[in-house]
Every structure is written in C-alpha cells, then in structure tokens.
Chains A and B, each alone.
Chain A
Amino acid sequence: MFKKSYPLQSKSEILLRNIVVAVMVVFFSVFLIAPIVIAFAGSFHEWNPLSGTYRFLGLENYKNVFTSQLFGTSMINTVIFSVVVIIFRVGLGLGIACAINSVLIKHKSFFRAVYYMPVVTPMVAVAFVWKFMYNPQIGVINQILGTSINWLKDPNLALPAVIVMTIWKDFGYAVVMYMAGLYSLPMDVMEAAKVDGASSWQNFRYITLPLLKPMTLFVVITSIISYIQAYVQILIMTEGGPGTATYLASYIIYDEAFVKYNFGYASALSFVLFVITAVFTWLSFRVSGTES
C-alpha cells in the first residue's frame, strides 16, 4: 500500500485556522496579556482610581508587601490552610476511591455522584450554609456536639472551621480523580503480583501507589493553585476575622483593591502571590521527580 497524497491544506482549512488563531490571539492579548502588563506597571505606582492618583513609587509597594505584618500573617494562614486541606483532600480522596473501587462495593456510581455533589455546588451558597451550621444559636454543629461554641468568632477555631468546610467541599474532586487513575491501572501487573504472592497491602504500597503518583501530583498542583487564590469562603464566613485569624493572602488583595481601592499595592501583592504560586508548583514537580 502506498500512502495517498492529499492536498495538505485546503482553502477552508486555512480559512478556519486563520479565523480561530486570530480571534484567540486578539482575545488573550486584550483580556490577559494587556491586563498583566498594566498590573505590572501599576505595581510600581501609587494607583487609586477614586482619587485619580497614578504616581510613580518605584519599589515602594513591594517593600510594603514584605514589611507588612498582615501579609506575613496571611501567608502563614494560607500555608496552614492549603497544607491541611491538601493533606485531607489527597488522603480522603485516595482512601475513598480505593474503597469504592474495591470488588466489595456494588453501587460505585452512586457513591461517586454523592461525594462529588459539594464540588459542583456554588461556593457562595455553600459558605452561607456552613456559616449557619456554625452559628451558636441555630447551628446544627453545636446541636450535634451539644455545645454552644461560636466557631467563627473564636480566634483559635475560626480558621479550622473554614478548613473543615473547604475539605467537605473539595474532597470529592480527589475521589473522582483517583477513581479515574485506578480505572486506568494495568490489570495484568496487579494479577502478576497476586500470583507471585503479594499481599493486598504490598500490592497497594508497591504497585498502586507508585502508579498513582502522576495523579497525586496533578491533584496537589491544581490544589495549590486554587487554594492560594481562595477568598470567597473568607468573604462570606469571617471577613478575615476575628482579628486577623482568617486572613488569607487572596482576601487581602480583595480588601486592598476593592474595599480600599489601593490598586497599586494590590497589584504588587498579586505579583508576589503569582511568584509564590509558580515556586510552589515548581517545587512539587521537583519533589515528585527526585523521589522516583
């Protein structure tokens, strides 16, 4: 058989390609590249749209970011928040996915659908429901525990309360991801190990777990990116309080930009956060790369 030669590119192919590429380039230039450039330039200025100020400051905004105590506190909160949520997300996700995947479970798609429900529920609504659940008067959590704790107003409990709510909202995503990962594992390897007399724990520890590593990396990286940007639950549930106990990095940016209208300072904060996101993403690639 010889390979037939087709005209490589038809007229309509070139036309469609040109339209699509042109529209894409224009769109992303206007709504992504231009804003990044404007924000970067703005981060070196005192920029307040209410008073109409746009004055060059040099590195002043960045200096203020790194000397700001609130930013330091918020970064610590963000790290605690992200690390705890990611550990639970990965742990619960992996454990539940393995349990559902077990031959002992019949209604796999039912469980999968149930655990995924919070993931597809709007964050604003979920945050309200949990705010009521934590309420000392009407809250169901105090009723179940038989306590009357004001969870979201206690400096030691507010951040854990937000963390618990976020774990509840997000663990289903990891369940579905790990189920997809388990589904695509090579069955012959598992069978061979079983024939060789591997216990189910050995099977899990030395075959399943290493093969799921790319999925774990995927879940961890997407989680890092999204948790560094999390602010809606804070806005609805605590507004950063009590005191600064639940200030997350992204919430400060919201606060500085759209409550105080310090656009320049907020832009500097955004770029710092962007760099931190990139570094953490790179680190997770590194850590997973050196292990294997």
Chain B
Amino acid sequence: MKRKISSIGLNVFLLVLGLVTVYPFIWMLSSSFKQNKEIMALEQHLLPQQFIIENYINMNAHFNFIRFFGNSLLITLVTTVLVLYTSTICGFVLSKYKFKGRDLLFGFVLSTMMIPWCVTIIPKYSMIQAFGWMDSYAALIIPAAFSGFGIFMMKQHIASIPDEIIEAARIDGANEFYIFHKIIFPMAKNGISSIAIFQFLWAWEDYLWPYLVINSQEKQLLAVGLKMFNGQYSTDYGALFAATTISIIPVLIIYLFFQKRFIAGIAASAVKG
C-alpha cells in the first residue's frame, strides 16, 4: 500500500515536471495557429478558439522563409555527414593504430574542445575574407569539416570494438579502407547517432558564423533569418510563432529518430570518458 502511494506520488511528480518542460513547445505550436487578436486578448485559452493556418502562409509572403529553411537544411546535412565521416575515420586511426605522436595528437584534439569560440572567430573571419570565401557556402562547410568533440567521441566508441574482428578481416586479406568502411563504420552506429544529433543541432542553430560570412539574403540561413524576421515584423506575433515552430521541427524529428541509439551512445562515452 505504502509502495503504491509513493509510486503514484513519484509518477505524478515526474509528469508535472514533464508538463512544465514541454509546455513552452505546446504554447508556441498552439499560438502559431491563432489570430493576432487572439494572441493579444485579455482572456487566454491554451488551444486556439479559431484555428487558422494563415500565419504559415503569410509568413512566407513577406519573407522568403522557405528559402532560408532550404539553405539551412542543405548546409546542415552536408556538414553533419562530413563531420560524421571525418570523426569516425579519425577516431578509427587514433584508437586502433599505434604510431609515434598518436597520444600527442589525441591530446591536442581533446584540448581543442576547451578553446572558446571567441578566441578563434575573429581571425577565422579575416581568413575567410583573405581566401575570398565570403558569401559562399565554402565558408560555412570547410571550417566545420572536423570536430574535436566528434573525434573524441568516436575514438571512445571504436576503442570498444574488439581488435580480433579487425585482425580476422586482415587475415582474410581485407585492406584497411575496406575494414573501415565495411566493418568499423557499421559497428560504430551508436556513436555516430549521438554525434549526428549534436552536430545537426549545432549546425542548425549556429547564428554568428553565417551572420558574419553570408551577406546575400538568398543564401542566408534560418537562424539569421529568424532574427531578421523578428526585427522587422515584431508585432506580427502569429507569424513569428509560425516561423519559430518551423525552425524547431527538423531538429526534433532528427532527435526522435535517433533518440534510442543517441542516449546509448552518449551514455557509453561519458561513462568511459
């Protein structure tokens, strides 16, 4: 009996906290289907009294939001795939090969994670100008091709793959490129999933870098677009809610899709790390 009461109590406690956690999302989504006068009304209801989709339609009429969205999706997918590949291959070499200077190199990769963005961003900005990459997607993709965090995570994961599997493949005559692409890569799925979510999120939400290096509006990304939109139509609340909702949906889809593997991946490397 006592057990039952404390079980209900604990469940209710966690549910209430969960509700507080998701409430901002529900409020945002519901407001995006409301008319402005309903959003501003004195008497408030959580669900729209009059359900409208005009906010989503109008939003794109005075701002090319779909364009920003498409650009962001392209850049985010390209950098994420690139980082997943480079992290896995660097992680493989750093964990399974023995060579002089390996620990030094790995120590260096680890230390890159401690360097604040502000230390390197000014020279990187000047370098992009010097390279003539301003206003091009090279400026967004190439400096993001390797990630210290990704390499660290993948090294931890691949270290747990038994050496015997690699040895067996070598005896069968497989070369290292085959071993990496056909054996290691598929076996590192949990680690890859956890980096995929983080990398997708970081590329998707990055504001300052695209704001600095992309000048033309038709090339700009969603995070910057969202802030511009907010500055120009700061009273069209309905459209702002619609725009914000759209900017959150892709990351939530990626998260829910990779969720299970992601948690396993992040947990494994944190416990070991």
Contacts and interface: CB of A to CB of B under 8 A. Distances in A.
B167 to A, nearest CB: 7
B247 interface: yes
B81 interface: no
Nearest to B108: A28
A253 interface: yes
Given A20-B89, A35-B127, A179-B267, A120 B201 contact: yes
Contacts of A235: 207
A232 B39 CA distance: 26
A2 interface: no
Interface string A55-98: 00000000000000000000000000000000000000000100
B255 interface: yes
Interface string A224-238: 010011001001100
Nearest to B39: A138
A49 interface: yes
B7 interface: yes
B21 A32 contact: no
Interface stretch (A125-133, A155-163, A187-195, A283-291): A125-133
Interface stretch (B52-60, B62-70, B174-182): B174-182
B71 to A, nearest CB: 15
B1 interface: no
Given A28-B146, A118-B21, A168-B24, A277 B116 contact: yes
Nearest to A254: B208
Interface stretch (B9-17, B153-161, B185-193): B9-17
Interface residues of A, number: 87
A250 B118 CA distance: 7
A140 B27 contact: yes
A204 interface: no
A63 to B, nearest CB: 19
Contacts of A6: 167, 170-171
B120 interface: yes
User: Is the contact region of chain B dominated by helix, strand, or loop, or is it mixed?
Assistant: helix
A123 interface: yes
A102 B31 CA distance: 37
Interface string B85-96: 000011001000
Contact of A17 (B23, B99, B114, B207): B99
Contacts of B118: 229, 250, 253-254, 257, 266, 269-270, 273
Contacts of A266: 118, 122
B201 to A, nearest CB: 6
Most chain-A Cβ atoms within 10 A of its Cβ — which of B28, B116, B145, B207?
B116
A140 to B, nearest CB: 5
Contacts of B97: 13, 17
A234 B126 CA distance: 25
A24 B105 contact: yes
A105 B18 CA distance: 14
Contacts of B39: 138
Interface of A: 6, 10, 12-13, 15-17, 20-21, 24-25, 27-28, 30-32, 34-36, 38-39, 42, 49, 96, 99-100, 102, 104-105, 109, 111-118, 120-126, 128-130, 132-133, 137-138, 140, 143, 168, 172, 176-177, 179-181, 183-184, 215, 218, 225, 228-229, 232, 235-236, 250, 253-254, 257-258, 263, 266-267, 269-271, 273-274, 277-278, 281
Interface of B: 3, 6-7, 10-11, 13-14, 17-18, 20-25, 27-28, 31, 39-40, 44, 89-90, 93, 97, 99, 105, 108-109, 112-124, 126-127, 143, 145-146, 167, 170-171, 175-177, 180, 197, 201, 204-205, 207-208, 212, 223, 226-227, 230, 237, 240-241, 244, 247-248, 251-252, 254-256, 259-260, 263, 266-268, 270-271, 273
Pick the 8 closest A-B CB pairs, nearest first: A180-B267, A122-B205, A35-B123, A38-B123, A12-B175, A35-B120, A104-B7, A12-B176
8 contacts: A6-B170, A10-B176, A35-B120, A36-B115, A42-B123, A99-B14, A121-B251, A184-B267
